[in-house]
Chains A and B, each alone.
Chain A
Amino acid sequence: MKFITIAGPPSCGKTAVLIHTIKRLLEDDTKVAVGKIDCLETDDGERYKDLGIPVIVGLSGDLCPDHYYVSNLEEILTWAKKNQAEMTILETAGLCHRCAPAIVGCLSVVVIDNLSGIDTPRKIGPVLTTADVVVITKGDIVSQAEREVFRQKIRLVNPEAEILEFNGLTGKGSVRLRKILLESPEVHTLVDETLRSSMPACICSYCTGETRIGNSYQLGNVLKIVS
């Protein structure tokens, strides 16, 4: 079984990239299963189901979607095995990126778009810096020069990753991404594997449902902007 994680900011084109690439994988009869993690609501599951593949959707509700994601990795792998998948692709919620739970030994793909701003590669942290493959979308609507600068900024924070330009409308780039996914490592279990970066501590009263503002309501791991 190949287990691949795909992350990236909201609206960067993760789902479009995946749908085009899965269509390519299905041409070769690769058995693909998709997991989608989100917080409150997602329609992406339906879009994957339209491809006729097994889909599992997890909504984290009140929990951090990335922590929920890590807590369910083994369950998702077991589910995919039951569905005779040869490749499991797990898409993150794409919210804060601070956690970006990429797994050692599993291919990690990040999608980032040319419109997201020139400083984005420097700002988004481990989701980009620990990725094996960086897929850049929306290159068709920005200038050649901006594409080159954006690519260079990505190189600066992640010198090793394979960088791939992808057009989410036409699917241009999907053949290359299929090849990369097919060459990714095999895993049998995720138990005892580790995350590529630690997830930040986030244990304060607001994590447990507090809504009131003010020092007296803030318990646990609290950091102040001015000390």
Chain B
Amino acid sequence: MKKEKIRVGDISKNRDEQLLTITGEDMMSLPSPLDKGGFQQLIRPLTEEQRNDYECSLDGVSAIAIPKPKSKEEEDRLVERFLGGLRKLLSQNDNWTFWQQLLLSLESCVRCQTCGEACSIYISSGKQEIYRPTYRAEVLRRIIRKYIKKGGKFFAKVAGDDIDLNWETIARLAELAYRCTICRRCAQWCPLGSDNGLITHELRKLFSQEMGIAPREIHELGTVQQLNVGSSTGITPRALENIISFMEEDIEEKTGKKIMIPFDREGADILLLHNAGEFISWPENIEAFAILFDAANISWTLSSELVGYDAVNYGVWYDDVQLARIAIRHAEVARELKVKRISVGECGHAHKALVVVADRVLSGDLNIPRESVLPLLEDLVCNEKIKLDPKRNDFPVTLHDPCNMVRLMGIVEPQRRIVRKLCPQFREMEPHGVDNYCCGGGSGFAIMSSMNFQDWRESISGRMKLKQILEAFQDVIDPSIHKYVCAPCSNCKGQIRDLLNSHEAWDKYGILYGGLVELIVNAMVDLEKPFIEWEWR
């Protein structure tokens, strides 16, 4: 039975009904061996208690756990607050950070819907209307026209784009702001340059900066914890010491080399910033950097200062104030250490946040050169500054392009030159480069697992990436052949881990994932044993 089409104005109607229910049949089909329909990752319904307590009438999923208002008065207050925030969003003074891009994006859409075909979430979901990139933008445009512009209520009726603003609209819009990974593939495709990813970003800002509504994993456990404790993972400077000692022992055990990971080395050339998630989930990535830099005799250091050992800056996804706070801390740490530059390790959003976005919140002695570590890795590999043997990487490898590094920064080739040189069985995903698809964990999704949101991101937002990975390995899908998805980004690795895990892809198809530097170290000729350990992590 064909579903009735959801219209823009429906977002404010039927508050007790769920706007959309997705079933496995709706979703984009997957290639072999997941094409039989035997496995369809379903989105588990929320419990009765959760449904009573939290807003979930958009699609039955709760990403940000918005409590239901207790009274009509509370609803009205929230609507007023939303409108106040919207006025600030449209004010040059309050929103100087993104005012110009927002205005251009709001005003330049011609409704050609070219962006729809670019959006992995819209396509993967079987083209559900509410996930269309222009849907939330259109809702916002109509609210602005009707409730902010003069004579809006009259013109809304004349123009035929009327919409009602009530608490239901706002609650659904808030959830909808977390059904887009801000990968900005749609913006790249838009012939007019309208950026629906930016509109999502600005909506998230309005909710966070004015109404205090943001996912707990990103705000409270993310930026707030990072600023107070030192890292979004909760690692304190003291805990860090223990982790590093463990890593040094682990390096010695694996390689026989006694390498001291440099900390707080004043005057070093490079302050290397890792996503602190690596310390906990993928220490081998940090160890690989230490082994490589030691072999290449590079002057570098890590920091043990608060925030200085965690490259993440979740502010870039939802809150300009938090973005500025964290970026300034990163620069302060580098200034104290008197390093020549900051190099960002394998973390996509940290690249974009610190090297590009935060460029305009750092000035004077905080305006320290900031770069990606990938060009340096390319220099070491391609200019043969380290002895490497590609035969050590003779297994199928594919490369995931983190959106933040590639489409959003133009770092396309260094990682490719490295894997082409070191991995004889390298194969590209299609499409790749600046046309890549998001892993489905972008803009914070990879760390968000509230209620049934993880089901949603594994079923829908990550579906396209799973399809791409399977397609890349179609000719070697036999589980006895070990395969490697190279993802030079911590959040992407987290999402790919969850995607592969939910389909038992390691056990059933022999697909493992990891970073880029691990492949380099795995090819180092002066290591007796291979560095990559073929076991699930």
Q: Do A and B come from one complex?
A: no
Instruction: State the B residues within 8 Å of A (CB).
Output: none
